[in-house]
Amino acid sequence: MNCEVCQLKELVVEPFEIREVLRCILHTIVFHRALGLVRPKDVDSELFEITYVQCGDAELEKKIEEKIDHFIGWVDKHPNRKSQVCLSFYEVKSKQPTWFSNKTERLHWEEWYVNLHVVNRKGNGKFRQNKAAVDHGENSVEERSSRRAVLETSLRDVLFQIIKFVNERKDHIPQVSNSEVISFPYEITIPSSSDSSFGWHTDMFKRMLQTGHPNMLS
């Protein structure tokens, strides 16, 4: 089965914006892949003038929040980095049992990569060289708001990108075999678990899971 991959445009965000950005993006994606009976829930972003749609599925919401927490935790430890969050959908296929494998395997049929460049801005425009900070004014408030506007526009673009992708690629979507709201199994992976030396990060990830994150909301 072919796996469609969508690389979303990179967004330059500050740490405190991560949550809202990821919420917008992840919920929008899942909404398009939740083919069960959905009662859409319009959510006004807390930071941006953007309304995105949720499926109204509590479990999904919880999971997304958890993952965001983990990601923010990871970002705390790895500031000023580019990173990816991957949302992927898969099918579970039973495999012919062999000696050394599970009986089931995950067949990923779609992967969404959310590309974030997290910048930690402290003080007055330290990172002005960054492309998001187009404002060269001295006023940090102004700069901030204009930077926010830029991010908002980019985020909107990303959401459009999602919609476009979703519209263009429909044939790879497997058959819906259940009546759940969230029709397909999915997973959200964050950097710690995907892109570095296996042992150390697994360890970190476990620790993060155990400790959780204090400011988990909603």
Partner 1 sequence: MASSSCNSFSEPAIMEQIITEFFTKSVHIILESRSPYVSSRNYSGEQFISSPSPSSSSSSSSVRPRHQWFNLALGDCPAALENFDLWRQSNLEPLVIDVVLIRRPSRQHHVLQSPNSSRDQFSNWTSGQDEFLQDSKSEKIVERWIIQYESRSNGSVIRESCPGAKKSSGGNSQSSESSAMYKKTYKKSIIMLRSLYAMVKLLPAYKVFRDLNSSGQIRPLNLSHRISSFAEPFTREEEADMNQFGFTPVDTPCGRLTLSVSYLMKLDDIRSETSTPLPTQVIPDYVGSPTTDPLKRFHSLPSSLPAYASFSRRHSWSNDHGATPVSQSPSPTYSNACVFRANPNSRVPPHNHLRDNAPSACSVPNNASTVHRKNTSFDEYWPSPPFSPSTSPCPAMQFCNDHPQNALLRTESAPVNIPLPRHGKNYLQNQGLPPSPSKAKCVKPGCSPRVDIAKTHISTSSAAHTSSPEGKLQAKKELFRMGDMHTDIVLHKALSLGKDETGSLSGLKISSCTSPRLQFSRSSSRLSFLDEFDDSEFPCPFAVDEDIIDSCNRIEPLDRQGQTADYLETTGLVTARKSQDAAVSAIVKMLKNAPPLRPEPSRQLSSHVIKDETRTSSMERNSVAEVMANPNSSASVAGMTTSEFIRSRTVADAFEELRGFKERKDLLLRQIGSQISESPSKDP
- Residues of the shown chain interacting with partner 1 in the complex, contacts defined by CB under 8 A: 28, 31-32, 34-42, 44, 49-53, 56, 156, 159-160, 162-163, 166-168, 170, 173, 176
Between 156 and 201, whose beta carbon lies closer to partner 1? 156
Residue by residue, DSSP assigns 128-176 as: TTSTT-----S-HHHHHHHHHHHHHHHHHHHHHHHHHHHHH--TTPPPP
Nearest to 3 by CA among 83, 85, 84, 91: 91
For residue 19, what is the enclosing H or E element?
Answer: helix 15-33
User: How far apart are CB 197 and partner 1 at their closest, in Å?
Assistant: 38
- Angle between the 58-77 and 198-211 helix axes, to the nearest 10 degrees? 120
User: How far apart are CB 118 and partner 1 at their closest, in Å?
Assistant: 24
The C-alpha R_g of the chain, in whole angstroms, comes to: 19
Residues 74 and 208: beta-carbon distance below 8 Å: yes
User: How far apart are CB 186 and partner 1 at their closest, in Å?
Assistant: 15
Between 25 and 116, whose beta carbon lies closer to partner 1? 25
User: How far apart are CB 149 and partner 1 at their closest, in Å?
Assistant: 11
Between 39 and 131, whose beta carbon lies closer to partner 1? 39
Between 105 and 168, whose beta carbon lies closer to partner 1? 168
